Structure 1
Amino acid sequence: MTAGKIHHAAQVTVAAILVIAALSIASSVFAPVAFALFIVALVWPLQKALQGALPRLVALAVSVVVMIVAFVGFGSLIIWAFGRVGRWIVSDAARFQSFYDQTTTWLEGHGIVVAGAWSETFSVSWMLRLAQTVTGRLNSTVSFWLVVLVYVLLGLLEVDDFERKLKCMRSRGTGEILLRGSMATGAKIRRYMLVRTAMSIITGALVWAFARAVGLPLAEEWGFIAFSLNYIPFLGPLIATVFPTAFAMTQFGSWGAVVAVFACLNLIQFVVGSYVEPRVAGNALAISPVVVLFSVFFWSYLWGVFGAFIGVPITIALLTFCALHPSTLWLAEIFGSPHKDEPAA
């Protein structure tokens, strides 16, 4: 490798590190923008269709109302499901305590002492800190969504103007790549969310049916939790199986039943996620599972839960733009689908 190539590689590495540091340090600035662009990509086809029959501002108002109703409804159902689970834990605290005592006794009998670590970690001060953290997160979440809403409003107003500016750029090649990349990214993100929603519905319905069949309490809640967490690849389905398994420990009192519940829930997640979803999504959304998992961890590390949710769409956008330029096409071929979908305008 020549000195020039080494110098160029060093420059690219330093630039990448600086970009990642900026995304992490200024997450309160970049995360709302990224999430707003994600929502604009989903909502824009609705507004574009409405603009054909309604004035522009009226179409924008209708689109925003539909978006707000969808988010409020989804958020309310999440609060309902997790709230019901939380109240059940409180009302059934004695049984959970009994199971904990049995578990610690068994572990201590095998030379594993956990009671001391438990008492040191879970104290009144820890509970107060947890309550303060949850309150702070709720406040920051409300602020986050308000900022996102403002960006979405401005973004939906600017889509047509942005398209005209790209078409009129002096550098026609750059403008064409940006326009084609934006259109292809929007189409792929909409398809990704459509497929993910369909798979989440199937997963939630199967989890609900299984919970009802085995007599696990809160079957509807477990079904909706599985549906909502399925939007976060890998981590979401894992968490969605751990919660009902913990309840099975206290409800059935048999390790065999607990193992069976855990195995069946993971079987549902595996069949839907590894067999059904790839055949529905097709090659257009083909991304290496390693890249998907890395995207979830990487963006959740930078931006928390919001990053975990949109980590895969961000990766889809990056690979889509990489596929449009010869110098970066190899990245799309290795980590994603090399096919360049040309969505309709």
Structure 2
Amino acid sequence: MIVIFLAIIAVITIGVVLKAAKSVILPLVLAWLLYFIFAPVVRLLAKRRIPTALSTAVVLALFIGVCFAAAMFLNGRIMTFIEAYPRYQVRFDELFQTYIQSFDIPRSVFGQVDPGAIVGRYVLSLSGFFVTFVSNLILVAIFLVFLLLGSPYFGVKIRLSFSEKNARTVLHVMNSIAHDIGRYLSLLTLISLSTGVLVWFALDRIGVDFPVTWGALAFLLNFIPIIGSVLASIPPIILALIQFQPDLGPVIFTAVILFAIQQTMGNFVAPKVMGDQLNLSPVVIMVSLLFWGWLWGITGAILSVPIASSIKIICDNVEKLKVISILMESSKSCEKRYFRNKKPQ
């Protein structure tokens, strides 16, 4: 009982520390995950006799360039929407009042709720996220530089620090994390990009305003598991309702098309391309999403699955923690493990 109590206290303490030190720990975690993606590239260039400093500089320049261009593009799209937002807010308020009167809903039910202002705050919060992302990019880059510069010597340091057996285990864990997370993020980026392009094309054909903005939003939020695609669909549907009122045909068509795209990409294309890539239970993914999203906001939600996967890989290679790894596995994987280990009667 005392052990359980101490464990709960430890978890709460760690959570408080992670939240309080968000400005430092979050960029470090981002750099650590990016390290697993870029380190193989640096090591490959090192084998071709390209200096580590030069290969690190090239990789870093490409990374910062792509991130900065993407952030500026997305922020520009959102700022364009914010400039046009006042006229949409007026129409939204009128539409809201019309529906209240049509369904004979007492105004007291909603009190002082201003739905237009709520939508505006949602858009502004997204814009603020991009600004914060760009500002944190500098710290991420600094951490990433030092990690990449030490990449070619990482194996030597591990072998000098541990016994041969433990060194092999540590290197296996690090290589597994690098392989699984690198592949997961690469495939997820491809699927998210495809989703964003489909959303942009569909909304452009329907005639919904700002189709590029909604496509970019779908691309970004698709990195958030479970709820990301739902969150990305809400703003364009609301805008279509405002834009095409009183004609509900395009609004319904917009909702159906977005639902079809998200279901097709999420339930058919993604499983075929990615398979059970990270081998995580949906419950674990949901808990991880809620915890890291509460802790670090949108960035934490995006990082929730890679962090959970890293924890599972570590537990899977530590004998005393293997039970935690099994509990984190998907049901399909546990079933395969059970029948694989089951001895014939």
2:254 is the alignment partner of 1:261: yes
Shift of 1:68: 0.7
> Does the aligned pair in 2 maintain the 1:36–1:152 contact within 8 Å?
yes
Counterpart for residue 30 of structure 1: 25
* Mapped pair 1:156 → 2:156: no
User: In 1, Cα distance between the equivalents of 2:264 and 2:9?
Assistant: 42
Could you list the runs of 5+ residues in structure 2 that have no partner in the other structure? Answer: 335-345
Deviation, structure 1 residue 149:
1.4
**CA distance in structure 2 between the aligned counterparts of 1:163 and 1:196, rounded to whole angstroms:** 29
State how 1:127-138 maps to structure 2 within 5 Å: none
Sort the Cα spacing of 1:101 and 1:110 in 2 relative to 1 into closer, same or farther, 3 A: closer
Residue matched to 2:329 = 336
From 221, 226, 243, the equivalent of 2:218 is 226
Deviation at 1:286, TM superposition (A): 2.6
In structure 2, the residue matched to 1:288 is: 281
Who is 1:145 aligned against? 137
Contact kept, 8 Å, 1:104 with 1:115, in 2: the verdict is: no
Structure 1 residues 43 and 300, CA gap change in structure 2 (3 angstroms): same
Query: Could you say what secondary structure the match of 1:328 adopts?
Result: helix
Map of 1:27-66 to 2, 5 A cutoff? Answer: 27-51=22-46, 52-66=48-62
Give the conservation status (yes or no) of the 8 Å contact 2:158–2:171. Answer: yes
Determine whether 1:174 maps to 2:166. Answer: yes
Q: How many residues align?
A: 328
Whether 1:89 aligns to 2:85 is: yes
Look up the match of 1:186: 178
2:209 is aligned to 217
Task: Give me the TM-score of the superposition, normalised by structure 2.
Answer: 0.84
Equivalent in the alignment of 2:112: 117
**Counterparts of 2:288 and 2:41, CA distance in 1:** 28
Report the equivalent of 2:13.
18
- SS of the residue 1:304 aligns to: helix
Distance 2:273 2:116 in 1: 45
Contact 1:185–1:320 at 8 Å: present in 2 too?
A: yes
Structure 1 stretch displaced more, 76-85 or 109-118 = 109-118
| 1:154 aligned partner, one-letter code | F
SS of the residue aligned with 2:161? coil
Change (3 A) 1:44 1:319: same
Residue 183 of structure 1 and its aligned partner are, at CA, apart by 1.0
Q: Secondary structure of the equivalent of 2:108?
A: coil
In structure 1, what is the Cα distance between the partners aligned to 2:252 and 2:141? 44
User: 1:342 aligns to what?
Assistant: none
Query: What secondary structure does 1:117 align onto?
Result: coil
1:95-135 C-alpha deviation (Å, 9 max, x unpaired): 3333233234335x233535641369959xxx99x98x899
Q: 1:142 to 1:201 in 2, by over 3 A?
A: closer
* 1:47–1:60 contact (8 Å) kept in structure 2: yes
User: Which whole-Å deviations, capped at 9, do the CAs of 1:262-298 have from their partners, x for residues lacking one?
Assistant: 2331232122112221221123323222222222221
Q: Give structure 1 stretches of 5+ with no counterpart.
A: 1-5, 340-345
Q: Which residue number corresponds to residue 239 of structure 1?
A: 231
Residue 214 (structure 1) shift: 2.1
Residues in 1 aligned to 2:273 and 2:22: alpha-carbon distance in whole angstroms = 34
Residue 96 of structure 2 corresponds to which residue in structure 1?
A: 100
Q: Deviations over 1:234-284 (max 9, x none)?
A: 232112100100111012224454344223312321221122212211233
Structure 2: how far apart are the matches of 1:28 and 1:258?
41
Contact in 2 for aligned 1:185/1:317 (Cα 8 Å):
yes
Moved more, 298-307 or 41-50: 41-50
Measured after TM superposition, the shift of residue 233 of structure 1 is 1.6
Aligned-partner residue type, residue 283 of structure 2: V
What is the RMSD computed on CA atoms of the aligned residues? 3.0
Identity level (%): 25
Q: Among 46, 50, 65, which residue is 1:69 paired with?
A: 65
Q: What is the TM-score when the length of structure 1 is the normalising length?
A: 0.84
TM-aligned CA deviation for residue 69 of structure 1: 1.0
Once the 2 structures are TM-superposed, how far is the Cα of residue 173 of structure 1 from its aligned partner?
3.9
Alignment partner of 2:264 out of 264, 271, 287: 271
Deviates more, 1:57-66 or 1:197-206: 197-206
